[in-house]
Structure 1
Amino acid sequence: MTAGENPVDPSLAQAYDRWTKAAAGVLAKSARTTPEELPEPPEAMLATPTRDGVTVRPLYTRKDEVAEQGVPGEFPFVRGADPARDVTQGWRVTERFGDLADDADAVAINESILEAAANGTSGLWLAVGANLAADDLAVVLRGVYLDLMPVTIDGGADGAAAARAFLDVLAAAPAAPEQAPTTAATTHSLGLSPYTAAFSGRASASAAQATELAVAAPAGVRAFRVDGTDFAQAGASNAQELGLIVAVALAHVRDAVAAGLDTAAALNQVTFAVSIADDQFAGIAKLRALRTLWSRVADVLGASEAGAAITHAVTDLAMFSQRDPWVNMLRSTVAAFGAGVGGADQVTVHTFDAAIPVDQRTSRSPFTRRIARNTQLLLLEESNLGRVLDPAGGSWYVESLTSDLAAAAWTVFTDVERQGGYSAALDGGAVASIVAESLAARDEAVAHRTAPVTGVSEFPNLGEPTRSEGSARTTDLPTASPALARVARRFEELRDRADAAENRPQILMLPLGPVAEHNGRTTFIANLLAAGGIDAINPGPLSPADVADAVANNPHVVAVLCGTKARYADDGGAAAAAAREAGVGRLLVAGPEREWTADEPVDGHLKVGIDAVAVLTDLLEATAPTASTGV
């Protein structure tokens, strides 16, 4: 049963109808029309569609109630995988080690781990490769209680060797005086993700190696890490990421069964990595929807008791900006909130400078790691988010969003299955095609600033340090896949290009009338231009007679008239003529075309809803022709 399918109490339906009529009256008034002329239903004007085709409605009531979802740790596991989670600890604060500058060698990494554990870290994610060899794992994990602290291995191309080395360390670890039972929170992961890596281009062990290790894995260890971040970083929507990782997980289960495991044992070799961004309700619903989907798969396979999805939520690297990176702390806080409330078993918050190339970072990793760790600890220790399991459960909105997102993801999953399963869909290009389509839609929304990026496309800071040209498109980052396409990258490419010019590009604003009239438009233009690295010069309030002097004192190729519709009608034509006569080669107007009624022609309009990336690229060509191209 999906949201909205429950029988509706007649009195509730009548109350909802009354609300609908009242809302229609308000909407009609604001639109200067009548309720009868509004679309049906009128409240659709207040609804928000997502990239997954899910509609977020303005109001949720008891008519959206869904069936009871059970309790945490029991089928269908919507409310959590772990029936025995320690609510005094909450989810595991999982920190990554092995690929930052301070991770110089095994001894240094071990010291960092022990210090982090003493300061709140309760899970480890180890990058085996550049700074950490598989043979060093015994040193790195010295002093770590492996029955209490879950470890995830990221071994890249050496994943199989790293997994075997970890299993050796685990087997040699001294037995605890009192062995703690393995739970969803303490399950180790060998981190083998060959199928998702095959999409993103990450180095990985082979599927055959992963299956061999899954068959031999001891209790408390799972071999397959189905990594949704490979899809999310490339631009997949939430439903696409969920549908694809369920398809990948099923492919692993089939491999393991073919290798000799029974269905329940094969299911118990899977863990999921899920990308969580800064839409808190989407993050909550995403994790709940994944557990819904995986329990359904397990039920169809005849092993419903093994259908608990163990989840490692990772803050979405694609949402991180290089410009104004401090804002990433806020994005991470919202994402961590969604992950925690959504019931993730482990959560990793990337450092706020995670999108910046390592050699350009100005903050030391102990500081950035501490901020990332404390983001979670504040939510756990001060906000007490871990003390209630599935606190969003029962919310009409969250339950409806969970159900709708699960239905959208199930469509993605079944489409993949109809093509012969994940490997066939990947080889045939279907996976790349749907993710590319989602990325294009996301990029278009960002370019038109309907999906704003604070500190980048909105409220940028031109005074911050510059980045090396080409930084915006780099994928050479810890935890990044070669398919990484960050949300902010296209605006940041413009900023890199403007910074590379000999002199910062400038455009002259020509504010007409008093400040009270033009301030909204000059602020809009200054922010729009700054998003492309262009400095907006504001000479102050002008009359048409002042325009020539303003242009003479600030000679620029491009100028923008800024005023109200009424001011354009009174002074726009004279001001435009004065600007042309004074030498302005390209004259733009702040505001829509319908507001410009003067006979004097202009060269374009800067308004809400334009393709800002395209417009700013064009303006950079006009104002900084010597800056290198490549946007």
Structure 2
Amino acid sequence: MTDAPNTLIEKQQAWYKAVAGVFARVQKKDVADIPLDIWQKLIKTTYDGIPINPLYNRADELEEAALPGVFPYRRGAAGVGQENQGWGVAESFDEKSTNQQVLDSLYNGTTNLVIQGSADIATLLNGVYLSLCPVRLFAGVRTVEQAKALFAVADSQQETPQLIELGATPLTSMVNGGATISLDDTIELAKQAAQRDNTRAILVDAVTFSNQGATDAEEIGLALAAGVEYLRALTDAGFTIEQALDQISFRFATTDEQFAQIAKFRAARQLWARVAEIVGAPEHGTCPQHALTAPVMFTQRDPWVNMLRSTVAAFAAGVGGATDVEVLPFDWAIPGGLPKTSRSFARRIARNTNLLLLEESHLSHVIDPGGGSYFIEAFTTQLADKAWEVFTSVEAEGGLQQAIAAGTVAKLLDDAHEAQRKDIARRIKKITAINEFPNLAEAPLPADLRVEPSRVRRWAAEFEALRNRSDAYMEVRGTRPAAVLIPLGPLAKHNIRTGFATNLLASGGIEALNPGQVTPGTEEFTTAAKSAPIAVICGTDQEYDATGKDAYEALRAAGVDTILLAGSPGHEFEPDGYLNMKIDAAATLAELLTKLGA
């Protein structure tokens, strides 16, 4: 009997051998012919160029980070021994909201209020104690007048407000053209805020960068650049560095990429503390760090899946140490929400997503749950390094405004967006219910709701545009555009590729007609061939070599316009195209829809 490995090196070698054994079985080779470093094929690389290993262990251990509540606040702003309440549950209200809705939300678990647009603040906050409930504005061009209204409410109450944030976003709004107040007006607002208790005027809204395609490192790096730009403007206006730091808050997007988001919030907090240290005020290196479930990940089709995405995203932000988390309603991407779905239901589900994580999963009982994880600690460090590179490159151009004016920021975001778009189009990056497992039987959205949210490059947009074409076709003709499958051989042999083709075609809104196994030369084959102008031959490679050419020629004889093969080249016949994991699925499906008249 072999002794179990007991040293780290021995354990690693044992794991390398085990991985090599798996590769040997899959490749049907002798394990001696498989190199021990074959495990490196399992490494995945993020869009920031960070390699993600398949396994982390003590060999990846870093120097122990400072305790929570201790500079550089990587592990959280709250210190050990302090009462831990977890993160705040944020919810937005606008001019359509009522005071009763606000009070009901607070009664049912909301802890942080976000007031958008031109809402009547005095009415909306009637009965709300600002000493117990942080309030943040997100009012765009109306920030100054809404701030006055909020100040009036605060002054009417005897207790000191817990936290008031005015949410001015002049720099980050430059990236997407969002309406906002000027930087000069923001500085004047900050002067007023500095004279009040627990009041901050400026929001570095990094969600803006995420909405335009930023990677995690780019989102952090550009946010740091915006924060430093504000520090310069404030100190030039006469603020001390401590006062300037105390006027700034951050908001980041959180996606369903769980570990990346945990690392993102930790890295962002650490790097802002580093900025505060550099400017001479490390003790002011913490500030509110808000999280918003990322608009880019929300889908219009099968929006119920957004509940799952939001749960993972909220979990990641909370575990990463966000001050508060706002979960958008699951049907956020649909103008006015999903038809026949009440707004109160959508808001309640969003709120309860946070509450389930906090109250039933007991995540609020632990500070920095990811602390000490070899993977999370290594990921945080690598992401921080990449984000600092982005920040310093922007600083080298003279700061964020200069980089925006030069087009550097736009190119950075365009390139990042295009890299992700290509992976989604090729189904390397998978979006459930969109480019994987779409529900073609789903009731179509009304035509007036098939529009894109403004200033957001959603991941699902390209595939959903194909689905929109399919819906418009069905509205005119009563059926969806369709392609017929030509299954060769028995079910056990063609089922994998008929399933693959059906799923792929459905992601573009094309119905797959499956007649079951057909044999060239039979009446059933001819009937199937004439049922659609596009045919997809499906079967095993062996079946293609045996009967594929006959099927191809029979389809041509039947007058089929376009013949595709589910698989790859290398057979005796050449179809018009291939359906496999390597194609640009979005482009292929768009071409097929055009051929079908959609």
TM range (shorter): over 0.9
Question: Tell me, what secondary structure is at the counterpart of 2:310?
Answer: helix
Question: Tell me, what secondary structure is at the counterpart of 2:522?
Answer: helix
How far, CA to CA, are the matches of 2:210 and 2:127 in structure 1?
35
Q: Is the 8 A contact 1:551 1:579 kept in 2?
A: no
CA separation of 1:464 and 1:356: change in aligned 2, threshold 3 A: same
| Pair 1:96-2:92 in alignment | yes
Q: 5+ unaligned residues in a row in structure 1: which ranges?
A: 1-9, 476-481
Aligned to 1:605: 578
Aligned residue pairs total 587
Q: Which of residues 24, 30, 35 in structure 1 aligns to 2:26?
A: 30
Which stretch shifts more, 233-242 or 166-175? 166-175
Runs of 4+ in 1 over 2 A off after TM superposition: 10-43, 82-89, 359-362, 467-473, 545-555
TM alignment of 1:93-492, pairs within 5 A: 93-98=89-94, 103=96, 109-129=98-118, 132=119, 136-175=120-159, 186-217=162-193, 218-358=196-336, 361-468=339-446, 474-475=452-453, 482-492=454-464
Aligned to 1:563: 539
Shift of 1:18: 4.2
How far, CA to CA, are the matches of 2:85 and 2:114 in structure 1?
19
| Pair 1:542-2:518 in alignment | yes
Shift of 1:582: 1.5
Q: Is the 8 A contact 1:243 1:412 kept in 2?
A: yes
Q: Is the 8 A contact 1:243 1:410 kept in 2?
A: yes
Shift of 1:608: 1.1
How far, CA to CA, are the matches of 1:543 and 1:444 in structure 2?
38
CA separation of 1:38 and 1:209: change in aligned 2, threshold 3 A: farther
Shift of 1:412: 0.3
Question: Tell me, what secondary structure is at the counterpart of 1:369?
Answer: helix
Question: Tell me, what secondary structure is at the counterpart of 2:181?
Answer: coil
CA separation of 1:314 and 1:14: change in aligned 2, threshold 3 A: same
| Pair 1:498-2:470 in alignment | yes
TM-score, length basis structure 2 = 0.94
Question: Tell me, what secondary structure is at the counterpart of 1:544?
Answer: coil
Q: Is the 8 A contact 2:450 2:468 kept in 1?
A: yes
TM alignment of 1:24-63, pairs within 5 A: 24-32=20-28, 41-63=37-59
Over aligned residue pairs, what C-alpha RMSD do you find? 2.1
Question: Tell me, what secondary structure is at the counterpart of 2:64?
Answer: coil
Q: 5+ unaligned residues in a row in structure 2: which ranges?
A: 1-5
Aligned to 1:591: 567
How far, CA to CA, are the matches of 1:48 and 1:552 in structure 2?
43
How far, CA to CA, are the matches of 1:85 and 1:374 in structure 2?
28
Shift of 1:35: 7.3
CA separation of 1:540 and 1:393: change in aligned 2, threshold 3 A: same
How far, CA to CA, are the matches of 1:215 and 1:300 in structure 2?
24
Aligned to 2:72: 76
Kindly provide the amino acid, as one letter, of the partner of residue 112 in structure 1: Q
CA separation of 1:121 and 1:519: change in aligned 2, threshold 3 A: same
Q: Is the 8 A contact 1:247 1:417 kept in 2?
A: yes
Q: Is the 8 A contact 2:518 2:525 kept in 1?
A: no
Shift of 1:139: 1.4
CA separation of 1:47 and 1:473: change in aligned 2, threshold 3 A: farther
Shift of 1:68: 2.1
| Pair 1:573-2:537 in alignment | no
Shift of 1:15: 3.6
TM-score, length basis structure 1 = 0.89
How far, CA to CA, are the matches of 1:205 and 1:263 in structure 2?
23
Question: Tell me, what secondary structure is at the counterpart of 2:574?
Answer: coil
Aligned to 1:3: none
CA separation of 1:286 and 1:391: change in aligned 2, threshold 3 A: same
How far, CA to CA, are the matches of 1:163 and 1:41 in structure 2?
60
Q: Is the 8 A contact 2:487 2:517 kept in 1?
A: yes
Kindly provide the amino acid, as one letter, of the partner of residue 70 in structure 2: E
Question: Tell me, what secondary structure is at the counterpart of 2:172?
Answer: helix
Question: Tell me, what secondary structure is at the counterpart of 1:460?
Answer: coil
